Structure 1
Amino acid sequence: MLRQKVFGSPGHELFRHRSSEIFRIEALSDAVFAFSVSLLVISLEVPQTFVELKTIIRGAIPFFATVALLFLFWYMQYIFFRRYGLNDLTTILLNLAYMAIILFYVYPLKFLFSILISSWTGINLFPKANEMGLTVLTREDFPQLIILFSTGYFLIWMILYFLHQRALHHTIKPPLNFYEIQFTIKERRGALWNAIIGLTAIIMATAGTEALAGICYLFIPFALAINERIFKLSVKKLSQR
């Protein structure tokens, strides 16, 4: 299968993989991710002049940033099904919600990346709007953009939280050993912390402090490092018993 060709055999990991076959829900998920990337490609019109070609090239950074984020979401979903092999109704419904949110947020993500890169670099990524004299984003609209992005971020991580919560409480064969339980708890905790960051950003933007809302996302690397540290300490403590 394509996934196995891309990633090879996952058997070297300490976490045992309980599924090597692709479920139908995963096949549907692959199609949704492929369609999401196709939407981004379709939005790139065939250039009629060299000036238009340069405009498309300038938009390459937000395009690849969006694709990279979509790939990250796809990989998290892929590795979840490999590790736990869940295919029950609750997992399927959560995965469908996960897919729907990602599909909906394709264009908002690219728009947000374009806004950020344009403001940081000064590159004009909205030539048509500027030619027509349209305002790309007003000061009043910026908090709403933060809320829109943060809502999607919050929902995606909450779904990942519930998926790992399901993995901890659902009957899995073979059962999770102590390392796998601690690893799943780490993944669940990390998803919850990321969701809290998104929720905090929503609250900040709603309160009119959108600058602080953006700063919230700077805590992501620290949350990841702390979560990993807690996991390693818990595994070390249990292994010494």
Structure 2
Amino acid sequence: MKFLHNISRIEAFSDGVFAFAATLMVVNFDMGGEMSFSKANLTGFLAFFVSFFVLVALWWVHYNFFRRTDYMDNKIITLNSILLFVTLYYVFPLKSLVQSWMGEGVKTPGDLASLFVMYGIGFMLIFLCFALMYYRATTKSKKPKEKYILHFYFRHFLIFVVVGLLSIVLASAEIGIRFGMPGFVYALLGPFCALHSYFYYKNQEHQL
């Protein structure tokens, strides 16, 4: 007998993993035993601040997926599990990257390049999982409006994957590494996503 998947259990487990990732950030937030505004403490707080709100943003993207569809199967569960695993990994290169802004933890351009590569891999895998989850839900949706919205977000998150891959390529080749070029590449997400949204909805208007 085939049982229906319990989405609430999957969401609860996912929320637990996100909470655990936040806990890891708190545990690794070291004030060095001094309640003062030294550079080390300020760097640690900034890394914690940015990492926490990036994690909240990822949770929000994850939350919205389950608001847009109620379809669930083993493939989406697998992709969701990979997503959660990568999210736990992603916390550490993100924190180290923020600390590098303050001149800590990075001694050579090669170190910074490696950090950008690790960050890019995490970023790319997270949004690849989101894209594939949306694609799977798109292929199974029976409602035209829902199918249209899911397909839009499938393509939307593929843009994130491409930008992350571009950053990895630049970092691996150490192109513009001294100026943080692999990091500035992520600014392309704004115009790319805006263009995608404009042309996608414009195409939909022509079909109506």
TM range (shorter): 0.7 to 0.9
- What residue number does 2:3 align with? none
Q: Quick one: which amino acid aligns to residue 169 of structure 1?
A: T
CA 1:166–1:97 in 2, change beyond 3 Å: closer, same or farther? same
Post-superposition CA distance 1:67-86 (Å, at most 9, x none)? 11111111111111121112
CA 1:62–1:150 in 2, change beyond 3 Å: closer, same or farther? same
Q: Quick one: which amino acid aligns to residue 23 of structure 1?
A: S
CA distance in 2, matches of 1:22, 1:165: 18
Report deviation, 1:176: 2.1
Normalised to the residue count of structure 2, the TM-score between the two structures is 0.86
CA 1:45–1:144 in 2, change beyond 3 Å: closer, same or farther? closer
Structure 1 residues 124-143: aligned runs within 5 Å: 126=104, 136-143=106-113
List, as ranges, runs of 4+ consecutive aligned residues in structure 1 with deviation greater than 4 Å: 52-55
Post-superposition CA distance 1:183-211 (Å, at most 9, x none)? 22221111111101111111122222135
Contact in 1 for aligned 2:17/2:84 (Cα 8 Å): yes
CA distance in 1, matches of 2:43, 2:172: 32
Contact in 1 for aligned 2:94/2:119 (Cα 8 Å): yes
- What residue number does 1:176 align with? 143
Report deviation, 1:115: 1.3
- What residue number does 2:94 align with? 109
- What residue number does 1:202 align with? 168
Structure 2 spans left out of the alignment, 5+ residues: 1-5
**Residue number among 185, 193, 197 corresponding to 2:151 in the alignment:** 185
> Is 1:144 aligned with 2:114?
yes
| Structure with more helix by fraction | 2
Q: Quick one: which amino acid aligns to residue 195 of structure 2?
A: I
**Residue number among 210, 214, 217 corresponding to 2:186 in the alignment:** 217
CA distance in 2, matches of 1:191, 1:49: 42
Structure 1 residues 1-241: aligned runs within 5 Å: 23-45=8-30, 48-51=33-36, 55-116=40-101, 118-119=102-103, 126=104, 136-170=106-140, 172=141, 175-177=142-144, 179-209=145-175, 210=177, 211-239=180-208
SS in 1 for 2:72: coil
- What residue number does 1:8 align with? none
Report deviation, 1:182: 2.6
State, as a whole percentage, how many aligned pairs show the same letter.
28
How many pairs were matched up?
200
Contact in 1 for aligned 2:18/2:59 (Cα 8 Å): yes
Structure 1 spans left out of the alignment, 5+ residues: 1-20, 120-125, 127-134
Q: Quick one: which amino acid aligns to residue 122 of structure 2?
A: G
